């Protein structure tokens, strides 16, 4: 009997989605595993219905406020944001640390060895705007938010 309980629990635990936003296994690719059998979806090639923007702090060293905003009336549920090195075309490891501004909407992720290096959704409810703060660590770099 315990054997079947273990098998059933193991099977059910593999079927969960990522509605809670905790998916550090996609930190490198930043591609959701929503496809069949956990296969990565292909990147979108059309004009995105969202935009990522940022507002610099008033002083050097102040956090940068990063916004993920839908265009028009489009809404989104899930998201993931990271800062990456521009010179590596965004393919390098995540840089800096995020600071959550609304804990009901967002959660921090540990990507690789870097705590708080990514931010994702906390709940899969409709959203039109997410704002977080980001701080650099170490030497000044040219970054992009993905």
| CATH number for position 28 | 2.60.40.4060
Over residues 128-144, the mean pLDDT reads: 89
**86 vs 5, higher pLDDT:** 86
- pLDDT value at position 15? 39
d(CA 134, CA 116): 10
Name the range with the highest mean pLDDT among 15-19, 63-67, 77-81, 117-121: 63-67
pLDDT tops 90 at residue 131: yes
- pLDDT value at position 34? 56
Cβ proximity of 119 and 131 under 8 Å: no
Residue 76 maps to a domain: yes
Sign of CA dihedral 105, 116, 80, 99: positive
Residue 3 maps to a domain: no
Residue 68 maps to a domain: yes
Residue 9 maps to a domain: no
**117 vs 138, higher pLDDT:** 117
Residue 10 maps to a domain: no
Residue 127 maps to a domain: yes
- pLDDT value at position 122? 86
Per residue in 5-28, pLDDT (tens digit) is 444 444 443 434 444 444 555 666
Q: How many domains does the chain have?
A: 1
Structure tokens at 143: 């970054």
Residue 74 maps to a domain: yes
Residue-number span of the structural domain to which 40 is assigned: 19-145
Residue 6 maps to a domain: no
Mean pLDDT of the chain: 77
Per residue in 30-54, pLDDT (tens digit) is 666 555 665 666 767 888 888 999 9
pLDDT tops 80 at residue 84: yes
d(CA 79, CA 66): 13
Over residues 105-114, the mean pLDDT reads: 87
Cβ proximity of 81 and 133 under 8 Å: no
Cβ proximity of 86 and 144 under 8 Å: yes
């Amino acid at each position: 009997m315990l054997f079947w309980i273990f098998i059933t629990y193991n099977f059910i635990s593999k079927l969960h989605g990522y509605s809670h936003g905790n998916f550090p296994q996609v930190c490198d690719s930043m591609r959701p595993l929503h496809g069949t059998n956990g296969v990565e979806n292909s990147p979108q090639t059309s004009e995105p219905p969202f935009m990522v923007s940022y507002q610099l702090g008033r002083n050097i060293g102040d956090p940068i406020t990063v916004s993920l905003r839908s265009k028009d009336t489009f809404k989104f549920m899930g998201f993931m944001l990271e800062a990456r090195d521009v010179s590596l075309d965004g393919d390098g490891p995540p840089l800096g640390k995020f600071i959550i501004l609304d804990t009901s909407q967002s959660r921090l992720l540990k990507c690789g060895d870097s705590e708080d290096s990514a931010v994702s959704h906390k709940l899969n409810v409709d959203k039109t705007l997410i704002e977080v703060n980001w701080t650099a660590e170490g030497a000044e770099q040219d970054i992009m938010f993905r």
